[in-house]
Amino acid sequence: MSYESLQIIWFILIAVLWIGFFFLEGFDFGVGMLLPFLGKKDEERRAIINSIGSVWDGNEVWLLTAGGATFAAFPEWYATMFSGFYLALFLLLVGLIIRGISFEYRSKDAAPAWRNRFDWMIAIGSFMAALLLGAAFANLARGVPINADKMFTGNLFTLLNPYGLLGGLTTVAIFLLHGANFLGLKLEGELRERVNTFAKKLWIGATVLYIAFGIYTYIAGFWARGFIDPGIAPIAAVAALLGAGYFINQKMEGWAFIMVALNIVLTQVTFFSMTFPNVMLSTTNPAYSLTIYNASSSQYTLGVMSIVALIFVPIVLAYQGWTYYMFRQRISTDKKTLVY
């Protein structure tokens, strides 16, 4: 296969990994942020945690794989982005650490103060992760200062511009909605009613922020600076979000979940197509941008990694899908059935 087609394939593959991550871990983050607000009693909180208990760690591996694949396929991208977004990534890691540990530790002690502390660590960690990932992607869309040596020349405050912050908040809002829809599918009884009421309010906030973010993107001219016009993807993303509002009101939980999931997927599709073939756009000078051509690994490495991906990605998808099928039943607040 030609060098260029391998570079394109790996760009697509990394986009797929991020899309998978945002789709899957998106509802985990949402569930985590909703936890202390939605669960009033201890067993309610346990039911909420149990709804993602068996899958959150597997979902997070999508992020690790996206990171590892970026390192292997586009080392310059990995090096510039990870060192450039240093403090933001540090905070993201802190968020992921405090929430990951809390799922496992939270119910292993009965003291209410212990449990409450870990519940808030789940919520705060999930919020930090969602906010920072959203802000990071918004900044990638906007462009960041990169010099001729492929080095990021800004700092944390460069990323905290209005567009980045709006992107972060929009991501938080969408993930909250996604999490509420997921819980609507997984919980039962009073808790299910409560989360469905939550979803209605969350939908309004998410939709307002999402549309504002879309308009900002368009007006500021961050739109389609690469080769590919995202076409109807962004329009379809908005339509899916509006559709979700309808299904939430109709209490059609399955469709509501699918619509927000579609919105997340299509938003990412829009992002990656308007970026291509850049992977990091330089605001200092467009000529300094990192692209799939100047940031990639050698043809040999991309070829080897393609074979590895061809073998393992289908296997992973098969057993992860099987897990969701296996644990498809709703979670009750009956203590005998709760694990975490």
Residue 145 binding other proteins, by CB under 8 A: no
Q: Work out which of 81, 130, 131, 140 binds other proteins, going by CB under 8 A.
A: 81
Q: Does 54 bind other proteins (CB under 8 A)?
A: yes
The answer to whether 109 contacts other proteins (rule: CB under 8 A) is yes
Alpha-carbon distance of 138 to 233, in angstroms, equals 17
- The pair of three-digit structure tokens given for residue 29, joined into one six-digit string: 């983050």
For the segment 211-250, give every residue that binds other proteins (CB under 8 A). none
Among 227, 246, 293, 319, binds other proteins (CB under 8 A): 319
Point out which span in 99-107, 174-182, 220-228, 235-243 binds other proteins (CB under 8 A): 99-107
Q: Which stretch binds other proteins (CB under 8 A): 18-26, 162-170, 264-272, 306-314?
A: 306-314
Q: Is 293 in the site for other proteins (CB under 8 A)?
A: no
- In the complex, the smallest distance separating the C-beta of residue 340 from other proteins, rounded to whole angstroms, is 6
Q: Is 188 in the site for other proteins (CB under 8 A)?
A: no
Q: What is the dihedral of CA 182, 240, 268, 159, to 10 degrees?
A: -80
297 binds other proteins (CB under 8 A): yes
Cβ proximity to other proteins: between 201 and 335 the closer is 335
Stretch of 91-99, 136-144, 207-215, 244-252 lying at the interface with other proteins (CB under 8 A): 91-99
**Considering the rule CB under 8 A, would residue 291 count as an interface residue with other proteins?**
no
- Which of 75, 165, 252, 284 binds other proteins (CB under 8 A)? It is 75
Q: Does 301 bind other proteins (CB under 8 A)?
A: yes
Q: Is there binding between residue 73 and other proteins (CB under 8 A)? A: yes
Least distance (Å) between residue 240 CB and other proteins: 28
Give the interface segment with other proteins, choosing from 133-141, 173-181, 267-275, 314-322 (CB under 8 A): 314-322
Q: Which stretch binds other proteins (CB under 8 A): 31-39, 136-144, 280-288, 322-330?
A: 322-330
Of the residues 8, 42, 165, 216, which one makes contact with other proteins according to CB under 8 A: 42
